[in-house]
Amino acid sequence: MPRAIKNRTRRLLLWCAATDRSFELAEQHGATVLSGKCIHCNARHVLALDGTPHTRATIEHIVPRHHGGRDELANLAIACARCNVGKGHRLDARRWDDPTLQRVITTLQTRRAERMRPPLASLDLPPPPADADDE
């Protein structure tokens, strides 16, 4: 994976975790990490403080990029690779007005809104994510 993409992914993961109530600072093998849950299945995910995932955490675009979803914090969440790929295969190619797609988007938007918080003050965060179109 090219370095710019890897850095972008780590930055997005870090910002998602920093603004998600399910993620808290924890200790793992003598290091401070962020530990929280997948937006879909609540499986535990762990990130280093630079955003490097210690698990198979991925960036979930709640409104898929295919349908105009952007890299805005309210549209981003952390998901298991399995959950994220499964959602993509099942839903991304559907028409925007598909009832199943709309139901899943609404459910995930509600979950993200319930989990949203101001960024953890104790984290040394990089600049907030800019939308990919703006980079």
| Half-sphere exposure at residue 56, Cβ-oriented, CA atoms within 13 angstroms | 7
pLDDT bin (cut points 50, 70, 90) of residue 135 is very low
Find out whether 119 and 19 touch, Cβ atoms under 8 Å. Answer: yes
Residue 77, Ramachandran bin (φ over 0: left; ψ between -120 and 50: alpha; else beta)? beta
Phi, psi of 34 (to 5 degrees): -105, 130
CB atoms within 10 A of CB 69: 17
Element (H, E) at 103: helix 99-115
Residue 60 to residue 78: CA distance in whole angstroms: 6
Find out whether 38 and 82 touch, Cβ atoms under 8 Å. Answer: no
**Digit-coded pLDDT (tens) for 64-120:** 998 999 999 999 999 999 999 999 889 988 999 999 999 999 999 999 999 999 999
pTM of the entire structure?
0.89
